[in-house]
């Protein structure tokens, strides 16, 4: 895209995909801190329908979507995009980004938010190298997943080094293509741990919003297998 076109680009929009099985405070804090640090106009949450690159989620997509809706309710900068859940096909980030690019236009800066663990696994994603042409990537630090280029697959380490944004002005002016790393409050919370607590009848309270926990209890989700 010629530089003149970048000048008319809008405020960057954050995109946050995940299995959210269930959504927890690690996710919410990541979204909140990225929104502030990057001056995002808002964040679209993208719950995955059938994630192809990992174990099938424990609960149905409709439940995971409902829990994300409860978690983000009341935050006017957060919205939920249900397209991946409603699609019958597997969820590929590249397909979602292509759809959003079409919807929002070529100039809109898009920032895909990823925890460091998700970024380290990027080379296993469908057509992963095409993602850079569609959006920026913001990689947020996560406890237990140090971000070291030397421990990334070589092709990803190369992209990581080549695409580091020189500064906020460089990436905010372009619709995509840069990789930014962001520190965030380190919250050692995972959906895996929450599922394990629930499976043994222990309480995950204060690791996730009360409204989400109420939903889990009401629908008797994540009990012992
Ligand atoms: P699971 O334990 O089932 O793998 P999860 O807690 O990692 O789930 P996901 O829905 O897989 O949650 O994650 C969605 C996104 O949020 C990913 O990019 C992941 O890296 C990021 N993320 C999840 N939890 C945290 C956390 N505590 N700190 C930083 N990033 C996180």
Distance 148 CA to ligand 1 centre (A): 18
Question: Residue 184 falls within a domain, yes or no?
Answer: yes
Question: Residue 88 falls within a domain, yes or no?
Answer: yes
Question: Residue 147 falls within a domain, yes or no?
Answer: yes
Give the CATH number, domain containing residue 149.
Answer: 3.40.50.620
Closest CA to ligand 1's atom 15 = 18
Question: Residue 49 falls within a domain, yes or no?
Answer: yes
Distance 3 CA to ligand 1 centre (A): 35
Tokens at residue 170, please? 């460089």
Question: Residue 38 falls within a domain, yes or no?
Answer: yes
Q: Which domain holds residue 96?
A: 13-188
* Residue that has been written with the tokens 């995955």 in this structure: 48
Q: Could you read off the pLDDT of 124-176 as tens digits, one per residue? A: 999 999 999 999 999 999 999 999 999 999 999 999 999 997 766 778 778 99
pLDDT band at 4 (very low <50, low <70, confident <90, very high): very low
Residues 6 or more apart whose CB falls under 8 angstroms from that of 143 comprise 186, 187, 188
> Structurally, how many domains does the chain consist of?
1
Question: Residue 162 falls within a domain, yes or no?
Answer: yes
Closest CA to ligand 1's atom 30 = 115
So what's the pLDDT on residue 89? 84
Question: Residue 205 falls within a domain, yes or no?
Answer: no
Q: Could you read off the pLDDT of 26-68 as tens digits, one per residue? A: 999 999 999 999 999 999 999 999 877 678 899 999 999 999 9
Question: Residue 61 falls within a domain, yes or no?
Answer: yes
115 lines ligand 1 (CB under 6 A): yes
Q: Which helix (H) or strand (E) holds 158?
A: helix 154-162
């Amino acid at each position: 895209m010629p530089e003149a076109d970048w000048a008319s680009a809008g405020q960057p929009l954050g995109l946050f995909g995940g299995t959210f099985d269930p959504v927890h405070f690690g996710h919410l804090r990541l979204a909140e801190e990225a929104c502030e640090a990057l001056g995002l106009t808002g964040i679209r949450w993208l719950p995955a329908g059938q994630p192809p690159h990992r174990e099938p989620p424990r609960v149905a997509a409709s439940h995971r979507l409902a829990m994300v809706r409860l978690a983000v309710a009341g935050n006017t900068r957060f919205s939920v995009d249900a397209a991946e859940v409603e699609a019958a096909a597997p969820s590929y980030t590249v397909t979602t980004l292509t759809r959003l690019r079409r919807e929002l236009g070529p100039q809109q800066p898009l920032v895909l938010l990823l925890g460091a663990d998700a970024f380290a696994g990027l080379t296993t994603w469908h057509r992963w190298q095409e993602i850079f042409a569609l959006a920026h990537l913001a990689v947020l630090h996560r406890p237990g997943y140090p971000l070291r280029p030397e421990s990334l697959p070589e092709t990803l380490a190369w992209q990581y080094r080549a695409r580091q944004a020189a500064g906020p002005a460089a990436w905010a002016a372009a619709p995509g293509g840069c990789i930014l790393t962001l520190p965030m409050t380190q919250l050692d919370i995972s959906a895996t741990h929450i599922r394990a607590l629930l499976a043994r009848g222990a309480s995950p309270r204060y690791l996730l919003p009360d409204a989400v926990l109420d939903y889990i209890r009401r629908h008797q989700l994540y009990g012992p297998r």
